[in-house]
Amino acid sequence: MRPGSFLPLPADPGRKGRVEKAKFHPPPCPARVKGVVELPPAAPDLRAADVVISLGMGVLKDGSGKPKAPREAYGYAEQLKAAIERRYHIKAEIGATRALIYSEVKELGGPIGKANQAGQTGSTVRPKVYFAVGISGAVQHCVGMQNFSKLLAINSDPDAPILKIAHYPIVGDPYEVLPNLVRVIGGGRVAE
């Protein structure tokens, strides 16, 4: 069994817990700040996200087949994530397919790693909305993300299997569609 495979039980108002208050007296401990170190961003928690925006190998090319730097697609995904969280006040995360993570995409270096992997070999996700950007729909990926409420798939290949199971299939260039989604959801703001 993998985490996220089942829905939680419904709330039971008949169940009661007991709150116990305890007094805590910490020992005196004088402290002095010697320096401030910025920590790296926390790893994404795909399982807890209401929205997952996943990138696949399709972001390595635009709609006409020209090679693209995946960092640009990641930048649009970050903007879409921020727009969704700002407008709808829900948790969004950026995911990726195993193929993209292991394709030795040097441009993404730090932003996308194993913690972003959604699918059977990564995190099993159960979001309200799953954005599949440049994802073909391989069985291994679909098994780990099949429990979404709504699937919006963006793919330049009209025969991509994921488009057949999507609630909102969009045949188009992810590098054109993503900025438009950011504009619509974010109220006209897109950073180039």
- pLDDT bin (cut points 50, 70, 90) of residue 1 is low
Pick from 78-82, 85-89, 185-189: least confident? 185-189
* In contact, 56 and 133? CB cutoff 8 Å: yes
Apex CA 68: angle with CA 78 and CA 188, to 5°?
40
Q: Residue 161: is its pLDDT beyond 70?
A: yes
Q: What is the pLDDT of residues 40-68, one digit of tens each?
A: 667 788 888 999 999 999 999 998 889 98
**Which CATH entry fits the domain spanning 52-186: 1.10.3720.10, 3.30.2020.30, 3.40.50.10790, 3.40.50.1220?**
3.40.50.1220
- Each domain of the chain, given as residue ranges in start order, spans 52-186
Report the alpha-carbon distance of residue 103 to residue 140 in Å, rounded.
16
